[in-house]
């Protein structure tokens, strides 16, 4: 489906690049805006890449005008939770203030559709291990709070003008493109599956398990892991939904079931064919024992049907990418 040009902010990053590729594969006209602070130009294959900041209003104004942008997909953000605790103003400045600037430009130019990359971190430590979109939001770090503020701005702006939006709250994103053309090369990554695969590929000496005394079957935290290709497809489904006249909505993106840290490590060792070095340490403040998405609403509203709900497959694609990085055959080395 093609209907108007699309601006993708942060489209050279991990998730954004997978979305850009899916958009291009179906013939969309895509422009990527990325400052390459954590993204890679090599990840943008076939779209125009403009290097710059989302908060640069003059640049955004020019792009929206020159390309007659109808839809914006907004991924550009800082995403490292511990860093957001240490340097909260960095996160409010980039994630919230730059989003406010982007939204102002969108309003001025009459952008019709806006898809926002949000996070399960907006829920904080929920009372229930399963989160619906109606679970109270109570973020416990600047990352989650900065994203929630952006959701609020989107909500209020959509009520005040013709812009309609979909905010997608991601759970734990993992995996890479099955063909190995693009992947996750984020430096100093903290995501469990990537870290474990880095160890398995010899790119990291060991990994740490933060807490083994949670009230879970094996004592380690349980999370809902979603393959990046399924998450990217949810964005395309959200775009189609808005183009079809859908109303603004906030949706969870996950598979609806979880795996423990120990189960993930077992899967990495199983796929790699050898053990990895693991060290147990204390819990991290603010980590809930279990966090799993209820994403029935996304399936119903968007007609979204995930294809890669298999832990070993998610690990396999991640490990293959880490092996390419270890061999110097992928970008981000």
* Nearest-angstrom CA–CA distance, 138 and 183: 32
* Nearest-angstrom CA–CA distance, 317 and 322: 9
- The dihedral region occupied by 188, where left means phi > 0, alpha psi between -120 and 50, and beta the remainder, is left
* Nearest-angstrom CA–CA distance, 233 and 149: 25
* Nearest-angstrom CA–CA distance, 223 and 207: 17
Which 8-state DSSP code applies to residue 117?
E
Contacts of 62 (CB under 8 A, 6+ apart): none
Closest CA to 59 of 11, 98, 17: 98
Q: Which of 91, 92, 143, 225 is catalytic?
A: 143
Closest CA to 196 of 186, 213, 208, 188: 208
User: Which secondary-structure segment (H or E) carries 68?
Assistant: none
End-to-end Cα distance, the chain: 36
143 has catalytic annotation = yes
Contacts of 162 (CB under 8 A, 6+ apart): 110, 112
Which 8-state DSSP code applies to residue 92?
I
Strand order of the β-sheet with 130-131 is 130-131, 290-293, 222-223, 259-260
- The dihedral region occupied by 310, where left means phi > 0, alpha psi between -120 and 50, and beta the remainder, is beta
β-bridge pairing 222-223 and 113-119: unpaired
Catalytic residues: 143
């Amino acid at each position: 489906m093609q209907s108007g040009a699309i601006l993708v902010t942060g489209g050279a990053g991990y998730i954004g690049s997978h979305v850009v590729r899916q958009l291009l594969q179906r013939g969309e006209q895509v422009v990527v805006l990325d400052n390459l602070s954590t993204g890679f130009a090599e990840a943008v294959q076939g779209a125009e890449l403009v290097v710059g900041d989302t908060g640069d209003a003059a640049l955004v104004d020019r792009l929206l005008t020159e390309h007659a942008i109808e839809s914006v997909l907004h991924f550009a953000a800082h995403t490292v939770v511990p860093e957001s605790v240490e340097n909260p103003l960095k996160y409010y400045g980039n994630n919230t203030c730059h989003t406010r600037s982007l939204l102002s430009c969108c309003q001025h130019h009459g952008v019709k559709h806006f898809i926002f990359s949000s996070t399960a971190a907006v829920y904080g430590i929920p009372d229930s291990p399963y989160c619906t979109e109606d679970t109270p939001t109570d973020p416990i770090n600047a990352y989650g709070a900065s994203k929630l503020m952006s959701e609020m701005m989107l909500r209020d702006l959509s009520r005040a003008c013709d812009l309609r939006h979909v905010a997608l709250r991601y759970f734990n994103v993992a995996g890479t493109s099955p063909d190995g053309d693009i992947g996750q090369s984020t430096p100093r990554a903290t995501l469990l599956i990537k870290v474990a695969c880095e160890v398995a590929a010899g790119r990291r000496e060991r990994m740490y398990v933060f807490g083994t005394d949670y009230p879970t079957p094996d004592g380690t935290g349980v999370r809902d892991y979603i393959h990046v290709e399924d998450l990217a497809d949810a964005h395309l489904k959200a775009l189609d939904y808005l183009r079809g006249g859908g109303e603004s909505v906030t949706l969870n993106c996950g598979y609806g079931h979880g795996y423990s840290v120990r189960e993930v490590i077992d899967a990495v060792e199983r796929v790699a064919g050898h053990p990895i070095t693991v060290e147990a340490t204390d819990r991290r403040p603010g980590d809930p024992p279990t966090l799993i998405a209820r994403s029935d609403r996304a399936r119903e509203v968007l007609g979204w049907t995930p294809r890669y709900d298999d832990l070993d497959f998610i690990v396999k694609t991640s490990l293959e990418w880490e092996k390419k990085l270890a061999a110097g055959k992928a970008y981000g080395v």
